[in-house]
Chain A
Amino acid sequence: GAGVSQSPSNKVTEKGKDVELRCDPISGHTALYWYRQSLGQGLEFLIYFQGNSAPDKSGLPSDRFSAERTGGSVSTLTIQRTQQEDSAVYLCASSPGGPYSPLHFGNGTRLTVT
């Protein structure tokens, strides 16, 4: 079946511009996660959505970052006024929800801020 789909796969933007990253989770998965992976760094948690509950935004690094999930499915991560330190691979994952549910990751969006 179809896995987690992310678009675009690559994005180059100029410093100061806004960007939107999209994630299509696996159909029926209620939980959706955004992580960031910087060069030489581990995965950094950004935000978590579960069903209709309020999202856990505790990992968002600044107020320039926001995310929404429409209709409990597709999610968009928005970065406003991008900075060079925002350059990273942004990974989206989804899971059926509940304890001990493995996360299924997309291939990520590689963001480069010039």
Chain B
Amino acid sequence: SQELEQSPQSLIVQEGKNLTINCTSSKTLYGLYWYKQKYGEGLIFLMMLQKGGEEKSHEKITAKLDEKKQQSSLHITASQPSHAGIYLCGADGTGTASKLTFGTGTRLQVTL
């Protein structure tokens, strides 16, 4: 079965600083999804990557998928308190989005 490893497990950054979260898969990915979760809430979809070398940006968040489609990174520029939460990557190992496998998440705290 497909396994995803996220690093770091937790991160504390000062407001305004940049940060990167990594997601590594044990198998080639058909699609890689990034989500954000706040305590007591569901997961909010951020971005989906499917092509090797693909990069997408939304506001101050950029996600990349490597050429081999086994590793993705999520980069936040000039972090803000609103970026705090748990970031999860989800992998589609079949190309059908029928059973996404999720990493254990990265907990981000942004201090003032």
List chain A positions with a Cβ less than 8 A from chain B: 4, 31, 33, 35, 41-43, 45, 48, 50, 56, 58-59, 91, 93, 95, 98-108, 110
In the complex the two chains form, what is the Cα distance from A106 to B45 in whole Å? 11
Contact of B97 among A42, A43, A91, A95 (CB under 8 A): A95
Contact A103–B102 (Cβ < 8 Å): no
A102 contacts B101, CB within 8 Å? no
**B97/A99 in contact, CB under 8 A:** yes
User: In the complex the two chains form, what is the Cα distance from A102 to B45 in whole Å?
Assistant: 7
Task: Please name all residues of chain A whose beta carbon is closer than 8 Å to the beta carbon of B43 when the two chains form the complex.
Answer: 91, 93, 103, 105
The 6 A-B pairs with the shortest beta carbon distances in the complex, nearest first, are A105-B42, A43-B102, A42-B104, A105-B43, A102-B45, A107-B42
Residue pair A107, B41 in contact (C-beta under 8 Å): yes
B48 CB contact (under 8 Å) in A31, A56, A102, A107 = A102
Minimum distance in angstroms from B39 CB to a CB of chain A: 10
Which one of A59, A99, A102 has the greatest number of beta carbons of chain B within 10 Å?
A102
Chain B residues numbered 61-100 whose CB sits less than 8 Å from any CB in chain A = 88, 90, 92, 95-100
- Size of the B side of the interface (Cβ < 8 Å), in residues, is 26
Interface contacts beyond A99-B97, A103-B45: sample of 20 additional A-B pairs, CB < 8 Å, sorted by A: A31-B97, A33-B100, A35-B102, A41-B104, A45-B99, A45-B101, A48-B99, A50-B98, A56-B98, A56-B99, A91-B43, A95-B97, A98-B96, A99-B92, A100-B92, A102-B48, A103-B33, A103-B100, A108-B41, A110-B40
Q: Is B52 an interface residue (CB 8 A)?
A: no
Inter-chain contact A42/B45, CB cutoff 8 Å: no
- Contact call B97/A101, Cβ cutoff below 8 A: yes
A4 x B42 contact (CB < 8 A): yes
